[in-house]
């Protein structure tokens, strides 16, 4: 019966990553720990052929979409670091805007693509990615797609609406990117979950589709202010910073004249003027789910992944960019 690295790690009382570092002769490992790993290998009869320096190392592409959100970059960074600890080579091409770097990685021998992208890339290698909670299991899935986690954008939008409604806002707008799957999903959930959706209003008038840029946010927030919105939900950090500037430039104040909720947290959100209320994402949870699915797909880990992918709902972090609507 073949002995696995998981069994070696369990016998030695160390992590699988530590065993990988010992076998690959890389990274700092205490001599006592290294001795325990070798002792466990001997006791279990594990073949030492894996210690040869010319052992092949598999290449994995860890990629964010073109023009990524902050949370997508952070997830990619965490995933890449975790996979490297398992002795995998990692390349990080950007995808969606230009498929050529991804194809170069595939041509170079990449055996899997790991990405927090919300749409199928129809790759010829396994694509381990994130999807939106409301998407059906068969909706636009490439044959190589494996959904490791789902984002409950509808639940996040509901949370934002509940927060704004509780402090008196009804005329709530959305600033989102003018392209990209995340923007498409946010618009869909905005129209489906808006508290005024049954009042006969044209909610499209309260959606500003603009480039993911400072100037786009600055222009969009003034358009929504002129459309009598009293609060906005903003997709990207750049747009949010632009929105704050645009309001200040018209001598308006946040949150007195407009309450703002950002989608996705980042260090800069704590230091905007005023600090931004946001829908924070579980970056660690998303990263762990992608890593676990990747290791399982590549048969590096024998630990099974959930039959139903875990669902992550954005969490409201209330700061001072939202306040009660003016009567």
Q: For position 222, which CATH number holds?
A: 3.40.50.2300
pTM given for the model: 0.78
Within-domain flag for 323: no
Length of the chain counted residue by residue: 327
Q: Which residues constitute the domain of residue 9?
A: 5-51
From 216, 208, 266, select the one nearest 237 (Cα to Cα): 266
Task: Quickly count helices (H) and strands (E) in the chain.
Answer: 10, 12
pLDDT confidence of residue 53: 39
| pLDDT grade for 195, boundaries at 50, 70 and 90 | very high
Residue 284 confidence (pLDDT): 97
In a domain, 319, yes or no: no
Are 147 and 159 members of one domain?
no
Q: Are residues 131 and 35 in the same domain?
A: no
Q: Which residue has the tokens 């040869």?
A: 52
Model pLDDT, residue 279: 96
| pLDDT score recorded for residue 20 | 67
Phi-psi region of 4 (alpha: psi -120 to 50; beta: other; left: phi over 0): beta
Q: Are residues 130 and 140 in the same domain?
A: yes
pLDDT digits (tens, 9 = 90+) for 278-287: 999 999 999 9
* pLDDT value for 137: 47
Number of domains composing the chain: 3
The answer to whether residues 137 and 118 belong to one domain is yes
Identify the residue with better confidence: 69 or 47.
69
Judgement on whether residues 192 and 247 belong to the same structural domain of the protein: yes
- Are 82 and 162 part of one and the same domain? no
């Amino acid at each position: 019966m073949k002995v696995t690295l998981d069994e070696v790690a369990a016998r030695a009382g160390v992590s699988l990553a530590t065993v990988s570092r010992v076998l690959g002769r890389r990274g700092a490992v205490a001599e006592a720990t290294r001795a325990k790993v070798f002792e466990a290998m001997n006791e279990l009869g594990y073949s030492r052929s894996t210690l040869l320096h010319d052992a092949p190392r598999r290449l994995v592409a860890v990629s964010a979409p073109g023009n990524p959100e902050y949370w997508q970059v952070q997830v990619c960074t965490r995933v890449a670091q975790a996979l490297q600890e398992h002795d995998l080579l990692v390349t990080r091409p950007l995808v969606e805007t230009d498929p050529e770097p991804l194809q170069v990685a595939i041509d170079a021998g990449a055996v899997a693509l790991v990405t927090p992208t919300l749409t199928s890339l129809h790759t010829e290698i396994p694509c381990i990615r994130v999807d939106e909670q409301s998407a059906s299991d068969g909706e636009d899935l490439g044959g190589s797609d494996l959904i490791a986690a789902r984002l409950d954008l509808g639940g996040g939008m509901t949370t934002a609406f509940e927060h704004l409604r509780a402090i008196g806002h009804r005329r709530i707008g959305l600033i989102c990117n003018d392209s990209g799957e995340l923007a498409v999903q946010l618009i869909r959930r905005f129209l489906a979950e808006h508290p005024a959706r049954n009042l006969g209003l044209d909610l499209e008038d309260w959606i500003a589709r603009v480039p993911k840029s400072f100037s786009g946010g600055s222009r969009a927030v003034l358009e929504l202010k002129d459309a009598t919105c009293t609060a906005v939900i903003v997709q990207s950090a750049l747009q949010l910073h632009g929105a704050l500037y645009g309001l200040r430039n018209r001598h308006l104040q946040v949150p007195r004249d407009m309450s703002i909720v950002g989608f996705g947290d980042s260090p800069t959100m704590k230091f905007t003027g005023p600090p931004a209320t946001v829908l924070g994402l579980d970056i660690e949870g998303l990263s762990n789910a992608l890593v676990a699915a990747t290791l399982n797909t590549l048969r590096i880990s024998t630990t099974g992944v959930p039959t139903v992918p875990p669902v992550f709902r954005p969490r409201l972090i209330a700061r001072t960019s939202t306040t009660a609507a003016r009567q």
